[in-house]
A and B are shown apart, each in its own frame.
Chain A
């Protein structure tokens, strides 16, 4: 499999299916693991970096359940490939920089991705469509056990899995849920919700995880604490919080429909109209308008397009994806033209 082959299909997590997939885009769990016998990636020398990569790749090759995976050495990829993988949520921005001894392992469905030599030796990630952290945990738990049967992980009974940054020590686990909350934003209740989340030791980030701002109506919520609780307990806590936010968003949606349905219908239909007819459109405007159309789809106001197609458009209209589709480098202006063209084509179909 080549990087370009990924263009031919939709990532599993974008399918728009699974529990509460009207409000929850995706659920993700990642585990941070380190080999006991080597320094952490930032402190390892060249030789050690290569040995770490080799040991993990050997473990991958020997595991039956990882036989459908491929590995990409980041040093072999160009800047566009790397940006493309970041846009697909398969790896972090950080992983795309300073690529020595770094690699990415993914499976065909793009459910599993493993960053090798990012901040930790292993960053294992499972992505699921909809509100589905428990299933993601079942899968990742097995993958982790598989690796642990052939690799010795840095671990202390008192402090759990040892990570480069003490904020990940313990379970090394971060559970994240990506939410689409347009009604809470439009009714100006979102700040109150975000403040409550922060008080409960959870963090809110943007579409692209660590270091990104929450843009538009998308919010990624994850646990901050990784030590002192069992993995299932952490997941239960996130689930409880997410359920409450889903309720609030649903209430806000109902209130908007009850109070001023024509206004909401107008805004959604106008958004659809612009997407259908624009000839030049920026990435930011696309995200904002698609968000409205997705809400319209959830509320039955937009009937001509399904949730999966909207989800796909969010990713396909990103800069590196557009350039991959066109198979050439495009300036920002050229991208805005191609983006509008792609959206028009897709909405017609």
Chain B
């Protein structure tokens, strides 16, 4: 069999590519295969490395993680795996279950010990509470604990209402959703 690219040399490397669920087979000579692999390496960036780090242990978890979506910016965990970047601060809470182990793998720790922003005691604190509640809500839904979920939903609504009132008072009204 001759090489599919140069058509001159004997094909010794057989490659199966799957792009958009289309499978193609390539039969290459050694030289062309080396070129092809150099191309592939140059496309291999940081996002792939991160995605590699974020690989999960079990396939069913993989499916579950990919469908997770940040309620604030609508980035999905699958998006994160593809681009290697999170969408907003709330993504950290939305993907908490998977980001914890990832952070630990990157940094060897998942507990911040450094400085705290000076404003964390005020307005931001409420924001952190809301993020935490949203996380708990998601967990409750996953466990199908609908009574608990309803309570949490009400708490979030209450907190958001308070925040809206505060924002209107100070004339600030920023919305982080996309």
Interface residues in chain A, defined as those with a beta carbon under 8 Å from any beta carbon in chain B: 34, 36-40, 42-45, 48, 51, 119, 141, 144-145, 148-149, 151-167, 169-171, 173, 201, 225-231, 233
With known contacts A43-B88, A158-B111, A148–B93 Cβ distance under 8 A: no
Interface residues in chain B, defined as those with a beta carbon under 8 Å from any beta carbon in chain A: 46, 50, 73, 75, 83-89, 92-93, 99, 102-103, 106-120, 123-124, 127-128, 131, 174-176, 178
B124 x A153 contact (CB < 8 A): yes
Most chain A CB within 10 A, of B114, B119, B124, B175, is at B114
Nearest A residue to B178, CB-CB: A39
**B108 CB, nearest partner CB in chain A, Å:** 6
B107 x A155 contact (CB < 8 A): no
Q: Give chain A residues whose Cβ lies under 8 Å from the Cβ of B113.
A: 228-230, 233
Q: Give chain B residues whose Cβ lies under 8 Å from the Cβ of A48.
A: 176, 178
* Alpha-carbon distance between A76 and B73 when the two chains are bound, in angstroms: 29
* Alpha-carbon distance between A149 and B112 when the two chains are bound, in angstroms: 21
Q: Give chain A residues whose Cβ lies under 8 Å from the Cβ of B89.
A: 34, 36, 154-156, 162
With known contacts A48-B178, A149-B119, A166-B99, A43–B85 Cβ distance under 8 A: yes
A225 x B107 contact (CB < 8 A): yes
Name B86's contact: one of A40, A201, A226, A230 (CB within 8 Å). A40
**B116 CB, nearest partner CB in chain A, Å:** 7
B110 x A158 contact (CB < 8 A): yes
A171 x B86 contact (CB < 8 A): no
* Alpha-carbon distance between A170 and B109 when the two chains are bound, in angstroms: 10
Q: Give chain A residues whose Cβ lies under 8 Å from the Cβ of B110.
A: 158-159, 227-228
Most chain A CB within 10 A, of B86, B108, B123, is at B86
With known contacts A37-B176, A166-B99, A166-B106, A152–B112 Cβ distance under 8 A: no
Q: Give chain B residues whose Cβ lies under 8 Å from the Cβ of A141.
A: 115
Known: A42-B85, A43-B85, A155-B124. 14 other contacts (CB 8 A): A36-B124, A38-B174, A40-B88, A51-B174, A144-B115, A149-B118, A152-B124, A155-B120, A156-B128, A159-B99, A164-B86, A169-B107, A170-B114, A228-B107
A39 x B109 contact (CB < 8 A): no
B88 x A170 contact (CB < 8 A): no
**The 10 A-B residue pairs with the shortest CB-CB distance in the complex, in nearest-first order:** A228-B109, A154-B89, A160-B112, A171-B114, A227-B107, A43-B87, A148-B117, A39-B88, A37-B174, A162-B89
Nearest A residue to B93, CB-CB: A156
Nearest A residue to B85, CB-CB: A164
* Alpha-carbon distance between A155 and B108 when the two chains are bound, in angstroms: 19
Name B178's contact: one of A45, A161, A227 (CB within 8 Å). A45
Name B109's contact: one of A38, A144, A173, A227 (CB within 8 Å). A227
* Alpha-carbon distance between A38 and B73 when the two chains are bound, in angstroms: 9
Nearest B residue to A155, CB-CB: B117
With known contacts A36-B89, A37-B176, A229-B114, A42–B83 Cβ distance under 8 A: yes
**B51 CB, nearest partner CB in chain A, Å:** 12
